[in-house]
Amino acid sequence: MNLPEALRHIGSPRVLVVGDLILDRYTWGNAQRVSPEAPVLVLNQDHEESRLGGAASVACLLRGLDAEVALAGVLGDDGEASILLKLLEDAKVQPLCILSDPARPTTTKQRLLGRCGGRHPHQMLRVDRELSAPLDPEQQARLAAAVTRRLEQFQVLLISDYAKGVCTPRLLETAIRAARERNIPVLVDPARIADYARYRGASLLAPNRTEAGLATGRTIGTVDDALAAAETLRETCAARAVIVKLDRDGMVLVNAEGRQEHIPTTPREVHDVTGAGDMVLAMLGLTQAAGMPLAASIRLANVAAGIEVQRLGVAAVSRGEIQTELLRASVFSPKKLVTLDEMALLAESYRVAGRTIVLTNGCFDLLHVGHATYLEEASRLGDVLVVAVNSDRSVRELKGPDRPVIPEHDRAALLAALEVVDHVLVFDEDTPHQLLRRLRPDVLVKGGTYTAAEVVGREVVAGYGGRVCVTAQVESVSTTRILASVRHNRSGELDAI
C-alpha cells in the first residue's frame, strides 16, 4: 500500500473517544543553582502552559490529524475543569458527554521542567492531583447512556483508560457490546492493570511492553516474548487483534486469523515519551475508521509516534508532517526504478527539502557515449536527475516497427545503473506532457540539435515557472547511426559469403 497516498485520501472520519480526561500543566524555567535551604535545584520560572492529557489528549491529536472527534468523560467542579473545557473548545473537540463531579478533582499532572546552560529542558518533578476511585453507579449509567445513544454517528470507538475511575467494567461492557451490535470497531489503550476482563470483546487492544507484561505475568524482553503475550491477551479478551508497543523496537501484531508480525520502527532521538501512546491510539483510530488494513495503520502509527517523541510534551502531529516523513524515508532509499505515482510523491518530498529536480526524457535505445555525456551534463543542472524512458509502444510510434532494439525494462535498468541518474521511470504517452504536469521538474533537459523552443513539453514547464535547457551534442554519435553501421557491416558480411 502507498502510505502517503492512502493517508492523503482517507477524509475526516468521525471518532468517539471515551476515557479519563487529564489536564497536563507545564512550568518551564532555568535550573542552574542549588537551594541554600536544602540539596535541591531551584527552578527560576519563566513560562507556564496547559495542555490536554489522557483521553482529551487523544481527541486533540485526532483533531490535528483532521478527524471529526467527540469526547466522553468526567471532570471535577474546579478551575482545572474550566481550563480543560476551554482547551477542548479551542481544539474543536465536540463534548459528547462530559460530566461534572464536585466530589472529584479534575485529574491534573503538573510537570516542572528545567533548563541548564541553554540545553534542552528536562523534567525535574511531576505533581499529580487525582482520585482513582470508580465513578458512582449513577454517573456510570449516565455516561453509558450518552455513549450508546450517539454511537451510530461514529465510525470507531476509542477507549483511553488511565485507571482514573472512568473506564469501569460496567461502562466498558455496555459500550463495547453496543459497538459490536453496530459493527463499530472498538480500540483500547488499556490501563496498567493486571485484569483485562473489562476489555473483553474489543476489536483491538494496544498495550505497551510494561502493560502487556503485567497483564500476562510475563517479562517482555524480546519480540518473541511480545508475540506470545499478544496471543495470550487476544485469547483471554476475545479480541480480533492485539498490538504490543515496544517503543524503540516498534510493535508486534497478532490477530484472530493467526497472523503474527513484527513491525519495526526507525530509531529516533527521544526528547519526551509523553504522548507517544496517545499518538498511536489516535493514528490507529483515524486509519481504522477509514477502513485501512491494520498492518498499514501500525506503520503509520509508528511514524506518528516517532515524530511525537521528538517533541516536548503532547503536541499535535499533522498528516502533512507524517507524509513528509514517509516521503523523506523513500527519498533516501536506494530505489531508482519507480512508477509515475511513486515519482510524484518523491518529487513532492524533494521540493519540501529544497532540492532542484531535473528531468529528461527519451527512448534511450542502445545507450551510447552521447547519452552518457548529456546525462552527466544534465545532472549538474540540479540536485536530482530523473530520466523518463519511452515505453516500447511509444518508441514504435516514434521510430517505426523495428524499434526499440532493447526492451523498455532493460533500457530503464541500464539507465538506473548510471551513477549520475537518481530515478528512472517508463512512460507510455506519445509526449511527456502528462508526466511533466505530475512531476513539475524545475529543469527540463534535452540533448541533441534542438533549440529550447523546439523541446516538446517546454510550454508546460514554462507555464509553472520552470526552465528548459539543451545540452551539447557529441558529434557523429546517435542510435540511428549505430544501427545503420551495424546493418551495413552485417550486409557486407553476407555479401562476402
User: What angle separates helix 340-352 from helix 319-331, to the nearest 10 degrees?
Assistant: 110
Q: Using the Cα atoms of residue 397, residue 401, residue 404 and residue 410 in order, give the sign of their dihedral.
A: positive
Cell of 84: 480543560
Q: Are 256 and 234 in contact (CB under 8 A)?
A: yes
Closest CA to 362 of 414, 438, 417: 414
Please name which of 333, 326, 334 lies closest in space to residue 352, comparing C-alpha atoms: 326
Domains of the chain: 3-328 (3.40.1190.20), 340-485 (3.40.50.620)
Query: Dihedral of the CA atoms 208, 210, 215, 217 (nearest 10)?
Result: 140
The Cα–Cα gap between 277 and 298 comes to 12
* pLDDT at residue 478, as a whole number: 56
How high is the pLDDT of residue 476?
54
| 495 labelled catalytic | no
> 401: cis peptide before it, omega within 30°?
no
Profile the chain (497 residues) by mean pLDDT over runs of 10 residues. 77 96 94 91 92 95 95 96 96 95 95 83 91 94 95 97 96 97 97 96 96 95 94 96 90 90 71 75 95 90 84 76 74 74 82 85 85 90 94 90 88 91 93 93 86 88 92 61 56 47
The CA distance from 97 to 38, in Å, is 46
- According to the model, what pLDDT value does residue 497 have? 43
pTM above 0.75, yes or no: no
Burial class (CB in 10 A: 0-12, 13-18, 19+), 246: buried
What is the distance between the alpha carbons of residues 161 and 147, in angstroms, rounded to a whole number?
Answer: 16
The pLDDT of residue 496 is: 45
Residue of 20, 24, 225, 278 with catalytic role? 278
- Residue 53: what pLDDT? 94
